[in-house]
Amino acid sequence: MSEDNDNADEVFGFFTEIGIINQLSTAMFAKSLPDGVHPSHFAILNHLARMGDGKAPMRIASAMQVTKNTMTHSLKVLQDRGYIEVQPDPEDGRGKRVFLTETGRAFREEAIALVAKELRHVIGADQRAIMHRIRGDLKQMRKHLDDNR
């Protein structure tokens, strides 16, 4: 019983710590992102730029860990801003494909530069050391949670 509770407390504490770090870092991101672009929108642009565009909304949704509803909404926003183009999938009548526009790519580059500049004031050598040190463990944890959800 009390062992279970201790265990639960430890697990709780861990995820709480993760949650706070996420909260703080996301807020910092949001502040350095220009003109009211939400971090989640930027994450989509980033994903498309890094992993290659032409992906289906559902695949992006899975990668971003959000529902397809959310993806529909986010893509609409990005489309309205001219950062992406959405075309029907020629091989699947149900599907669509998402492409970055030049505007979108340029926007991402600028945003990254801006965020990097801001980060330089907050992330020092100690922080980079920590990141490097626990990166592997985090990756493993993420993978485990992802596989067992």
**Interface ranges with DNA (CB under 7 A):** 30, 38, 40-41, 56-59, 61, 65-75, 77, 86, 89, 92-97
83 counts as binding its own copies under rule CB under 8 A: no
Question: In which residue are the tokens 């504490």 written?
Answer: 13
- Pairwise CA distance, residues 100 & 86, whole Å: 9
Nearer to DNA among residue 5 and residue 22 (C-beta): 22
- How many angstroms separate the Cα of 39 from the Cα of each of 3, 118, 133, 148? 39, 15, 26, 26
Nearer to its own copies among residue 14 and residue 82 (C-beta): 14
Q: Residue 84 burial (CB < 10 Å; 0-12/13-18/19+)?
A: buried
Choices 5-13, 52-60, 74-82, 89-97 (CB under 8 A): range interacting with its own copies? 5-13
Number of H helices, E strands in the chain: 6, 2
Nearer to DNA among residue 91 and residue 147 (C-beta): 91
Question: Residues 56, 84: contact at Cβ < 8 Å?
Answer: no
Choices 17-25, 52-60, 72-80, 93-101 (CB under 8 A): range interacting with its own copies? 17-25
- Pairwise CA distance, residues 65 & 57, whole Å: 12
Residue 61 CB, shortest distance to its own copies, in Å, is 12
Residue 51, contacted partner among its own copies, DNA, none, CB below 5-8 A by kind? none
For the chain, strand residue ranges (E) read: 84-88, 96-100
128 counts as binding its own copies under rule CB under 8 A: yes
Q: Which residues bind its own copies (CB under 8 A)?
A: 4-5, 7-8, 10-29, 43, 46, 65, 112, 115-116, 119-123, 126-128, 130-135, 137-142, 144-146, 148-149
